[in-house]
């Protein structure tokens, strides 16, 4: 007969693991909330935004908040930190930042320009296919850039998204 520890059970283990995980995951949110302005223009308010339909405003506010969290987390990283890979199959932080920009770029092409997947020109493919797909080519090619490079790519792409959303609102 197996002897069970008196205060150990699967249920207690799961409950305590969940509590620890929730605490660890909420720490950045608590810090960000403490730093956030307490007004109606706060990026931490998710929902409809003036000048947009309720759905587009909510999407845009969510994207803005997530973007702020990402940038706040990486803005002081060195090139070495941006290029670091934990193993030979992982992606670097820099590659993931460029992947975010590529994902939004292809969203723009599909949504605003109504181009079907893969129908864009070679210039777009050359710039954005590797960051979108990552993998071995991404690990080889996406490195040696400072944080300003990645942040400017993210900003460049976001400005197009905001412009296109505003244009859609005027038309619609």
Range of the domain at 123: 46-171
Residue 21 lies in a domain: no
Mean pLDDT, to the nearest integer, of 33-40?
Answer: 44
Mean pLDDT, to the nearest integer, of 33-47?
Answer: 55
Residue 23 lies in a domain: no
Question: If you write DSSP's letter for every residue of the chain in order, what string do you get?
Answer: -PPPPTT--HHHHHHHHHHHHHHHHHHHHHHHHHHS--STT-TT--S--TTS-HHHHHHHHHHHHHHHHHHHHHTT--HHHHH--SSTTSPPHHHHHHHHHHHHHHHHHHHTS-PPTT-S-HHHHHHHHHHHH-HHHHHHHS-S--HHHHHHHHHHHHHHHHHHHHHHHHH-
CB 150 within 8 A of CB 94: yes
| Domain of residue 99, CATH code | 1.20.120.450
Number of domains in the chain: 1
Residue 162 lies in a domain: yes
Residue 17 lies in a domain: no
Q: At residue 92, does pLDDT exceed 70?
A: yes
Residue 39 lies in a domain: no
pLDDT tens-digit map of 132-145? 999 999 999 999 99
Residue 22 lies in a domain: no
Give the model's pLDDT for residue 25: 54
Q: What is the mean pLDDT of the chain?
A: 79
Residue 74 lies in a domain: yes
Q: At residue 23, does pLDDT exceed 80?
A: no
Residue 54 lies in a domain: yes
């Amino acid at each position: 007969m197996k002897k069970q520890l008196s205060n150990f059970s699967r249920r207690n283990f799961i409950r305590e693991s969940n509590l620890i995980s929730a605490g660890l995951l909420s720490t950045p949110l608590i810090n960000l909330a403490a730093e956030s302005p307490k007004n109606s223009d706060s990026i931490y308010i998710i929902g409809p935004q003036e000048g947009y339909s309720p759905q587009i405003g909510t999407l845009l506010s969510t994207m803005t908040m997530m973007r702020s969290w990402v940038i706040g987390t990486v803005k002081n990283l060195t090139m070495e930190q941006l290029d670091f890979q934990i193993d030979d199959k992982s992606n670097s932080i820099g590659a993931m930042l460029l992947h975010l920009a590529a994902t939004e770029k292809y969203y723009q092409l599909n949504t605003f320009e109504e181009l079907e997947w893969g129908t864009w020109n070679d210039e777009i493919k050359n710039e954005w296919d590797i960051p979108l797909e990552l993998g071995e080519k991404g690990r080889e090619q996406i490195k040696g850039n400072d944080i300003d490079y990645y942040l400017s790519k993210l900003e460049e792409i976001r400005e197009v998204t905001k412009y296109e959303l505003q244009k859609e609102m005027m038309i619609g």
